[in-house]
A and B are shown apart, each in its own frame.
Chain A
Amino acid sequence: MNKNRPMPPMGKSGSVPPAGKGGAMPPKGPPPMNFKVLKRLISLLFKDYPGKICVIFACIIINAIIGVTPAVYIETITSYILVGLENGWDAVKSDVLSSVLIMLCLFAVGISLAYLQARLMAIVTQGFLDNMRKRMFNNMQTLPVKYFDTNNHGDIMSYYTNDTDTLRQLISQGIPSIFSAAITIVVLLAVMIYYSVSLMVVVFIGVFAMMNVTKKVGGNSAKFFMRQQKSMAKTEGFVEEMMNGQKVIQVFCHEDEVKKEFDEVNEQLFKDAESANRFANIFGPIMNNIGNILYVLTAFVGGLLITSDGKLLNVSLENIFTAGSIVAPLSIAVVASFVGMTKQFTGSVNQASQQINSIAMAMAGAGRIFEILDRIPETDNGYVSIVNCRMENGEIVECEERTGMWAWKHPHSADGTVTYTQIKGDIVLDDVDFAYEEGKPVLHNVSLYAKPGQKVAFVGATGAGKTTITNLINRFYDIADGKIRYDGININKIKKADLRKSLGVILQDTNLFTGTVMENIRYGKLDATDEECIKAAKLANAHDFITRLPEGYNTPLTSNGANLSQGQRQLLSIARAAVADPPVMIMDEATSSIDTRTELLVQRGMDALMEGRTVFVIAHRLSTVRNSDAIMVLDHGRIIERGNHEDLIAQKGTYYSLYTGAFELE
């Protein structure tokens, strides 16, 4: 139920960087028009589908032009009708028929292209979304752990859901609509100039009015939509928090207070949603009727021009061909088709301006997506790597096949030589300082060593820095000062991937993945056979309960193994580490959530797992630390006592009071 964000592995709570105040409120970037983002998005789109995009745009252009031809066609037909009214049907029948046939061909082309365009669009849109998701995911995987510790997980999720969805809108509808409208407008303008410049001036006045309305109403609409998004995020965050804490609310009979708070956020969302939708809804009628009014104006001016009896002449290119002069009286057929074009023209402007919200939202969404794409991956300057090796005449020789023996391959740039060091699991921390946040040190002068095969236990109050030390060994975080050496090699020189491969980790929070039990165990070593996995499960004492599951090793696990108990999940994570078979193990309070009886099982499994490995273990329990070769007692980021259990008990210091002093208090 309680799916809290995982705790950042911080020391003192004061040192935690804030993870987005107020929880689920995503950092909505500065909206509206960020054209740089749009440009980048379009160039990415071109990069992914250069050919298809060109074809799509060609289709749009041709279709937009074909879309204008009906206006010309109607003008032609009307003039035939006028001729026909004087000379009879037979005189114009063939002309009419041939016009119809020409249009039929044009339309056939248009319809086929429209279908082609829609199909290609489906491929491009979904393909591009797929590519963007993969791009984001690929980059996300390279980001340092710190990113995940300091960012709200819900916010990261919304990059993939909400923000990606705004892209879909933009690509499949926004861009094509606007492009098509733009082409239509240009073509119509050309046709209008051809027929009558005078009437076009009237249309221009109308367009100017529409632009103003778009700017005003559309701008407001976009603004309110942004506000609505924000309120929505706030409501969502509130609801999520309360649903998570629903049981606590009940226990404290706090329902009424929570209801009151909810009503406030809900009311705000209502207001913002209402305004946003109002503006969006009245936009259509306004634009539509400006079109109607423009229609009247055109007809009126056209009428004036015609009835002026040659006092007012029409300026047009057509006149050059027909009358030999740029000015000539206006024909009735021109006025008739012109009013039609006016409608189409305003329709196109309308169509383009309807897309304003989708563009504004897509730009904000794309901005956030680029933000995660641009995040700098975890740096890795390591050059020492792990290789399989075998001993020949007392020398380590690198080899391809798995020998069960590994070595660090250490190339020296100075003289071009390569040295091999056998991996034993010898770890040394030398005077290590560390801070999650500048100026708030969490570890001070920590020095310790673990010889191969030794077990080192960290003990101390919560926040003493135990987890932090383990975070440093596998380089989830980098140390500020001092050195950590692995088999004598500074871990900064080791490739991060190879370093982590050599360290097995069992974390406090078990995370299992969707898939079967077997697949989850195999996560430790992808090429492990079923036998190896079962062997590991037996070692971890997990085999028993797994065979009792409905489908044994093939039982599917969903939502982090919700169908298993905490202890069972823990056992699986131990099996997973066991199959990886690393020389060094780090266990972070690995057994604290298992009840003592299950822990006995786990303990035996762990003892088997620890056999012959260097182990760092963090646990509150005496039984876990008792067998350790060395115990480090930490307090506020410093090691204050060290030794084995007997030594420390004899010292009667903090360790003594931590574990026995509690009882002495009585």
Chain B
Amino acid sequence: MLQPDDLVDPSRRNLFSWVCSVDHKRIGIMYMLLAVFFLLVGGVEALLIRAQLAVPKNDLVSPQMFNQLFTLHGTTMVFLVGMPVFTGFSNFIVPLMIGAKDVAFPRLNAMSFWMLPFGAVLLYFSFFTGSAPDAGWFSYAPLSTKPFSSLPGVDYWIIGLAVMGIGSISGAINIVATVMCCRAPGMSMQRVPLFVWIMFMQAILIVITIPPLNSAISMLLIDRVLGAAFFEPARGGSALLWQHFFWMFGHPEVYVFALPAFAIVSEVIPVFSRKPIYGYAFVAGSSTIIVLLSYTVWAHHMFAVGLGMGPNIFFAAATLLIALPTGVKIFNWTATLWGGSIRFTTAMLFAIAFLIQFVVGGLTGIMFATVPVDWQLTDTYFVVAHFHYVLVGGIVFSLFAATYYWFPKISGRMLSERLGKLQFWLWLIGFNATFGIQHLLGLMGMPRRVYTYDDNPGWALCNGISSAGAVFMAAGTLVLVWNILKSIKSGAVAGDNPWEGFTLEWGTTSPPPLENFEELPEIKSRRPVWDADHPDLADWKTEKTPEDRGHRPAAAKVAAWSFVISEAIFFILLLVSYVVFNSGDEIEGPTAETALDVSRTGIFTFILLSSSLTFWIAERCLRKDKIGGFKLWLGLTILLGCVFIGGQVWEYSGLFSNGITVNRNLFASTFFTVTGFHGLHVTGGIIVLGIMFMLGRLGYLTSKRTHVFAAVGVYWHFVDVVWIAVFSIIYLDVFK
């Protein structure tokens, strides 16, 4: 059994063993450490912003530097703190909670993690080029296009985000597959702890929400590097399209952060109230509803751009609607506290502060859902106050709750409660001073993102208070870092279950052994550790939950489907952009009608579609262990794929020789973007099929491993389905 001192075991201590690790616990810890590091970086940026704004007409930093600071502060906090820290907790805790040995794909997990520092380096390397990105964390076009941001800062921003996006999606797919496929016997989907269920929902949300960002940044990169004009109104593009695409990602992203906060609080509050959660199904169900609704409200970020009365009303209504499933949870948590035997540990204090501050942030959110209020307050400090109440007062506070709650499990040592409470009060005072007062500043009309301000009545005082509050938060953060360092060295030994927790992670040692459990308690309810510790009061005796039927889908197939869904959304948005730019009548230059040879591409379409048939036959051969037939039909599939790509090269070279290149007009830009990305996907598919072919030849692929091949099939058929859509929309022009 692993003891805390094993952390200093030489074989597990050296740095290289961490770099090579595929253990979900170590990867989880690395995610968290990276997040803490960038929390400090993003925090320093925030302090510089607040220092600049502390007094009127300050010139501590230049306007340019100020723009870079708030751009990097936002980007860092979203992509390098928020996403990784929750992925880290999810990585560490989810497999433990469901009684699994590891995540479904440990190597993919390591890759997902290492994409993150790679992306971070790209993002911050821009400083050394002398032009850090400065167009805001949402890089609105046309500011972010070449004519207005000619230096490479935005390019680094795009590539950094793309790399991190790959890591996020693959990490999320891993969590989805882990929860669906790796649950211990007895752990039915209706019995998983709320943390697991909500993180499962969050992972699904990541899978469907990052693709719109990827579509948008791919198009922006093509604008910037290849001279297209998707987002340049001066050349016929649409700046609004960027906003639509960005917020289709950006709004669900808020829930990518909020859901884990809900997940954490749903574990912490019951344990420290010594009661099961009030209304498990409500909390779980409303999280599912949030995932669905979060996709329908993005345009409330765009009330001020002039969408028209109809869209404004509908998006306002949808926004009010999404407050319901969130509001329900507040009642669940409060009702859990009600009558509980509450222990005010640091984790619990942070959770309670979360409840109150999140309600404040939520209520100002509802104010913004009403269009006239939004028109009045948009782009003022009221917005800054609103989303910091959600993201910091809500989410960061829940994160601290999680830190104090699970640190003993992660490290085997307790964090100091005395230092914890000091940190809590520093943050509570600092946070409310910094952001509470900004509501007033916003109402007084102070615009955000402007590097300084005039000495208007009251502004200096309010900004002074706001900046002073930031110092408290900084001090609180240092206390946390000190607490962690001190506790790792000399904290009290935690034992297996220091908080008398209910869920499976408390049923193993702290820290858990390499394969997590020596032996699993019997799982017959939602609180297996409680049941094991209190056999007389076991939950399953009083409350029945649906039994585990033992069905676990093949992880490879789950992963393939999740990936395909994610890619489908990516392509749908690219196709939307094609339709947007090609459905008008006034296109100058080449169009689909004049430039494309439909019948020739029709033949190549037929060839690509037949490759799906040959693949299907190959799969049948493999299932029957007819390796010869398998190789033949798979070989034919690869050949057909190559012929299709050959056809595309032929088409492209014809277009190039007629002077039709990606920067010619919006038809050409959208055409090359859509078909080019499809071609890349086919090429990727051919490479994977080639690997399958080699595995078949070497005898590694047999009927027992059909599910792996079937997973590749999901992707290959998907590429064909996408082409049907591309062919119908671009070549057959069904939208005209």
Report if A and B associate in a common complex: no
